[in-house]
Structures are given as C-alpha cells and as structure tokens.
C-alpha cells in the first residue's frame, strides 16, 4: 500500500471532508480559515502559512485548557498546514473596543495566559506574539492562540533568524538585538496588562498601583531585569 505523505493527506482531507465557512485572517505569510466538517458539522481552524511550524508539532502531544488543541500539523518545506480546535468566544482585542478591564478581571485573565505560556515555555517554545487579538475568552476561560510566530529557543544562538511580532508588544530583542526567550513573552504580557487596564501602551499611560509596578518590571528593556519566568510573574500577580 502506498504511503501518502502527511501534508498531501491533510491537504486532500481538508478539500474533500470540510467546507470553508470564512477566512478569519489573511496576510503575506498565509491564511487562517474557519472550516466545518461535512459529516459532523463541527467547526475547526485551518492555518496555512510559510515559516517554521515546529512549535505546532510539539503541541500535538500537549493538553492545556488555556491552549487550543492541535489536531494535526504537517510541513512541506517551508509551507505548513495546521488543523486545530475552534475556540468559540471573543478576543480581548474585540472586548477592549467596548470597555476596559478591572484589576481583578485583568489578574484572572492574565494568570490563565501565564499558565498557557508556562506550558509553552516548558517545551522551550516562545510565543513571541502575545497581544489582545491572540487571547480568546471562552466563557470565563482565557485561551492563548496563534503560534505562527512562535519559535523553539535554541541555546547558543545570538539572534532570531526572522524578525516577527507585533509593534508595541514586541520586546526590544525581537528587533535583532538578541535571541527571543521566555522573557520576551513576559515583556508582551506586561504590555497586555497595561492595555487591559488603560487602553494604552505603558509608555503613554502607565497603570498605577501594584499592577503598574508589575508592568514596569515585565517591560524592562534589559531582559535580565524582568521576571525570571512566568511562575515568578504569577506570584507577583
């Protein structure tokens, strides 16, 4: 019996067994589509992008309530296909258009984002694009999505091979100053906390009180002066 490469198998399965409901995101690197399984009616997300998909491969064997379940991931050269769980809910970016979050709500949500990051960091993965648009609230549960910019941290490498991230949330080292590591995500979490509380970047309007102190430490230009890991950040929260 002929062995079909997994990329070709997944590509064929998507074409024959699923309907595309709509395009959720489109960029120069690829597309994110909402699919519906023809037989069951269940919805899924299909990511097709050019780049490094090694984090998705690691997530295939991962189970975390604050991360989407990755059902299949395949690569053909630089091209990646990822089929994942559809998370029904609103992004923080959408919710922030209507109102800000209270300190209590912010703590509760960010602690869950930190749990997601702890899972990623435990497998040497760095998300590199933590922002309101990549956090979905599914009821009272926060889910961190989109690992297209994520990378496996490689000891001994001085800089990232590709500059990725979102302006305003990306740490200084993501601009080629040094290699991204877990403290890169801690920087972005600090920005996220401030935006949830004030609607603005901390350079324009730093939140006050204890959370303002936490934000200041998260977003220190020198990574060595940030929290050492997300467990320390969770303790501070």
**Catalytic amino acids?**
129
Comparing CA positions, the residue from 134, 119, 126, 113 lying closest to residue 190 is: 113
Residues in the chain: 237
Report the SS3 class of residue 223. Answer: helix
Contact between 187 and 219 (Cβ < 8 Å): yes
At 30, list the tokens: 């690829």
Calculate the CA dihedral of residues 161, 166, 171, 174 and round it to 10 degrees.
10
Tokens of 194: 């401030």
Measured between alpha carbons, how far is 188 from 28 in angstroms, rounded to an integer?
23
């Amino acid at each position: 019996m002929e062995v079909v490469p997994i990329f070709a198998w997944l590509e064929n399965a998507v074409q024959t067994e699923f309907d595309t409901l709509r395009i959720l995101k489109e960029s120069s690197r690829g597309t994110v589509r909402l699919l519906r399984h023809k037989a069951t009616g269940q919805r899924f997300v299909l990511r097709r992008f050019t780049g490094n998909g090694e984090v998705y491969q690691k997530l295939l064997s991962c189970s975390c309530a604050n991360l989407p379940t990755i059902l299949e991931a395949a690569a053909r050269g630089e091209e990646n296909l990822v089929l994942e769980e559809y998370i029904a809910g609103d992004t923080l970016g959408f919710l922030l258009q209507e109102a800000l979050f209270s300190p209590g709500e912010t703590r509760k949500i960010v602690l869950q984002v930190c749990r997601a990051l702890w899972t990623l960091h435990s497998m040497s993965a760095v998300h590199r694009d933590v922002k309101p648009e990549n956090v979905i609230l599914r009821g009272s549960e926060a889910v961190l999505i989109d690992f297209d910019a994520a990378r496996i941290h490689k000891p001994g490498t001085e800089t990232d091979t590709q500059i990725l991230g979102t302006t305003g949330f990306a740490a200084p080292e993501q601009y080629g100053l040094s290699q991204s590591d877990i403290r890169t995500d801690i920087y972005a979490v600090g920005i996220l906390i401030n935006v949830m509380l004030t609607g603005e970047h901390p350079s324009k309007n730093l939140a006050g009180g204890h959370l303002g102190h936490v934000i200041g430490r998260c977003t220190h230009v020198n990574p060595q002066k940030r929290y050492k890991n997300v467990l320390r950040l969770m303790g501070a929260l």
